[in-house]
Amino acid sequence: MGIRLGLVSVGLVLVGTLVPQVQARESRVALNSWQAASFPVESFHSYTSGYGPRGDGFHYGLDIAAPEGSYIRNWWAGRVVEVANAGNCGTMVVVESGPWEHVYCHLRGRPVTTRQGTVLEDPGSGLQVYEGQVVAAGTRIGRVGMTGRTTGPHLHWGLKYAGSWVDPAVVLRAMYSQQQAQLRRQS
């Protein structure tokens, strides 16, 4: 546990210093800050399953219930590295942001391979999501669906730092405490 938290702490510092360099002109983005990060669903309903041991296995992500067809937002600026159908995860989009990888499962639609690469086909969504695409934080990258192994519409959100899974709830708590502090400074 100590090791896992340690990795997250390192990640917080690394991402916090990387991104402001890119967004230096957005002066409100303070150093070591998650200000620009986005909560991954638009229509939050509830958390239905946390990261950790579950049954006789381990749940490598956070389940966030949201209405079927509601939009999923990219957590942190990066590049779409995978659009695929991944077994229990169903239709999946993976975004890479420096040492972070964020995985979005059970999306609506399906991957389709074209000459331009693999794209997410989700008719009626108005989305254009494809492998290699550069995506800002908060960009819509899919919709909540029921693909893969799921009993109800939710986003399974997985986070990896330097190749190891971390608890997304730890990151969300850090993100919120910084965003709240920023709001207090502005008011």
Shortest reach from residue 75's CB to Zn ion, in Å: 16
State how far the Cα of 79 lies from the Cα of 138, in Å rounded to an integer.
13
Smallest distance from Zn ion to CB 156, Å? 3
Contact 143, 127 (CB under 8 A): yes
Task: Specify the pairing of strand 46-49 against strand 52-54.
Answer: unpaired
Name the site residues for Zn ion (rule: CB under 5 A).
61, 63, 156
Q: Which is nearer to Zn ion, 52 or 132 (CB)?
A: 52
Residue 15 or 62: which CB sits closer to Zn ion? 62
CA distances, 119 to each of 76, 107, 161 (Å): 20, 13, 25
CA dist., res. 34 & res. 47, Å (int):
21
CB of 70 to Zn ion, least distance (A): 17
Nearer to Zn ion, 103 or 135 (CB): 103
Distance of CA 70 to the CA centre of its chain: 15
Measured from the CB atom, the residue of 19 and 172 that comes closer to Zn ion is 172
Question: Cβ 86 to Zn ion, closest distance in Å?
Answer: 12
